[in-house]
């Protein structure tokens, strides 16, 4: 389990885009995510990163693995060795460098880095426990909870408490901060912070110029049949009687 106590705002930032050969849109993303789980639990990885976060990669068929590190050489060697051993395609990478990633997201660098590095292990655990449930959880979050501007915590809490050891390892103050961060939206022309978590679990988000204005003021929550029209292209459906 990653220890975020060493994460700083000056750690170098880098990125790998990793893919299982032959994976299709969305299914390839989830296959690639499963393929790197053992990397993310490895001793070398945990020793070389101070934090990391995951989103969907190019063409919705690969994993974009972004990281913070004070040991850039060990980290790159670890990922490249793993990719070679397990025959993963490295579709792109950014070498470790100094970068303020919060520039367009509120300029609170260490807070933003910590949020990104907190949602990711939670997401990994709930997706491994029950991927369909996780996808339903986040689709209904966008189109029922956020759309109606309802509280986030009550929607997610039962799942996080029952399926995420990392969430349960957080202290009360850390949990409270995580919930504040999840709901944080400092710059409405840009995506909210929750977008990164949504993107990880669903492999996409509805943040285009037509969709995003609908989240700026309360709207009636969508019924499940309407949500299913929106997620059909993602390859799943929310069961009629599904509850978070």
Q: What is the pLDDT of residues 130-181, one digit of tens each?
A: 999 999 999 999 999 999 999 999 999 999 999 999 999 999 999 999 999 9
pTM of the model: 0.96
Transcribe the chain into DSSP letters: ---GGG--TTSEEEEEEEE-TT--TTHHHHHHHHHTHHHHTSHHHHHH-SEEEEEE-GGGSSEEEEEEES-HHHHHHHHHHHHHHTT-EEEEEEEEE---TTTTTTS-HHHHHHHHHHHHHHHHHHHHH-HHHHHHHHHHIIIIIITTT--SHHHHHHHHHHH-HHHHHS-HHHHHHHHHHHT--S-TTSPPTHHHHHHHHHS----STTTGGGGSS--PPPPHHHHHHHHGGGT----TT---
196 burial level (CB within 10 Å; 0-12, 13-18, 19+): buried
- Residue 94: how many other CB atoms lie within 10 Å: 13
Give the per-residue pLDDT at 207: 83
> What are the DSSP E strand ranges found in 70-136?
89-97
What is the dotted CATH code of the domain comprising 4-97? Answer: 3.30.70.100
Q: At what angle do helices 131-140 and 153-163 cross, to 10 degrees?
A: 170
Instruction: Provide the pLDDT confidence category of residue 215 given band limits of 50, 70 and 90.
Output: confident
Q: What is the pLDDT of residues 176-195, one digit of tens each?
A: 999 999 999 998 888 999 99
Q: What is the pLDDT of residues 222-239, one digit of tens each?
A: 999 999 999 999 999 999
Which one is predicted more confidently, 95 or 208?
95
CA angle 50, 56, 60 (to 5 degrees): 160
Q: What is the mean pLDDT of residues 53-79?
A: 96
Please report, rounded to a whole number, the percentage of residues in the chain having pLDDT higher than 70.
100
CATH 3.30.70.100-classified regions of the chain: 4-97
Q: What is the mean pLDDT of residues 98-116?
A: 97
Which one is predicted more confidently, 182 or 213?
182
Q: What is the mean pLDDT of residues 50-56?
A: 98
């Amino acid at each position: 389990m990653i220890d975020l106590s060493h994460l700083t705002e000056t750690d170098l930032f880098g990125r790998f885009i990793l893919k299982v050969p032959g994976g299709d849109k969305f299914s390839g993303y989830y296959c690639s995510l499963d393929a790197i789980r053992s990397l993310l639990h490895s001793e070398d990885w945990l020793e070389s990163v101070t934090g990391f976060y995951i989103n969907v990669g190019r063409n919705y068929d690969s994993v974009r693995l972004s990281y913070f590190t004070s040991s850039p050489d060990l980290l790159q060697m670890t990922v490249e060795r793993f990719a070679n051993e397990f025959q993963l395609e490295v579709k792109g990478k950014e070498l470790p460098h100094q970068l303020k990633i919060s520039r367009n997201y509120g300029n609170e660098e260490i807070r933003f880095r910590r949020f990104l590095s907190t949602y990711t292990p939670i997401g990994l655990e709930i997706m491994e426990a029950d991927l369909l449930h996780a996808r339903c959880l986040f689709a209904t979050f966008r189109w029922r909870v956020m759309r109606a501007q309802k509280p986030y915590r009550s929607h997610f809490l039962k799942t996080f408490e029952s399926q995420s050891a990392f969430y349960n390892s957080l202290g009360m103050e850390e949990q409270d901060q995580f919930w504040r961060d999840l709901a944080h939206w400092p710059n409405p022309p840009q995506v909210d912070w929750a977008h990164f978590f949504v993107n990880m679990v669903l492999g996409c988000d509805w943040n285009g110029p037509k969709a995003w204005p609908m989240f700026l003021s309360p709207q009636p929550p969508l019924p499940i049949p309407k949500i299913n029209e929106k997620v059909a292209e993602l390859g799943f459906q929310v069961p009629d009687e599904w509850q978070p």
